[in-house]
Amino acid sequence: MDNPFIALGSVLAVALLVLLNWWLGGWRQARIEDGGFAAKRYRTDFWNDEIHEVAVDADGRAALIAIAGPGPAAGLVVAHGDAFVTRRLVPVRRSR
């Protein structure tokens, strides 16, 4: 680069974009506040399951949900970045 002002302008532009992202909350991690929130989030994807009990970890990053009904099953809600991932866990039956 022949002109140092071009490099300085680029560095300032990137710094301003990083600052704007921080100010708008771009690095805010998703958290599971309590069992009610985890149950509500799980029901948006698996609305037919009847939730029996919810356990949330101390960091608010994951919740394990006991599902009432025929057969063993569990639900899982995990905070991933700024969103949530939900899964229905059932045992795998292997034939021998």
CA 9/CA 3 separation, integer angstroms: 10
Residue 29: what pLDDT? 83
* Residue 52, domain member (yes or no): yes
When pLDDT is averaged across residues 45-68 and rounded to a whole number, the result is 94
Contact 63, 40 (CB under 8 A): no
- How many folded domains does the chain comprise? 2
When pLDDT is averaged across residues 46-71 and rounded to a whole number, the result is 92
Task: Tell me which residue of 79, 49, 76, 78 sits closest to 65, measured CA to CA.
Answer: 76
CA 66/CA 23 separation, integer angstroms: 38
In this predicted structure, the answer to whether residue 3 has a pLDDT above a threshold of 70 is yes
CA 27/CA 13 separation, integer angstroms: 19
The reply to whether 9 and 55 lie within a common domain is: no
User: Is 77 buried (19+), middle (13-18) or exposed (0-12) by CB count in 10 A?
Assistant: buried
Residues of the domain holding 17: 1-28
CA 12/CA 96 separation, integer angstroms: 64
pLDDT digits (tens, 9 = 90+) for 35-53: 999 999 999 999 989 999 9
The reply to whether 42 and 84 lie within a common domain is: yes
**What is the maximal distance between C-alpha atoms in the chain?**
73
The reply to whether 84 and 40 lie within a common domain is: yes
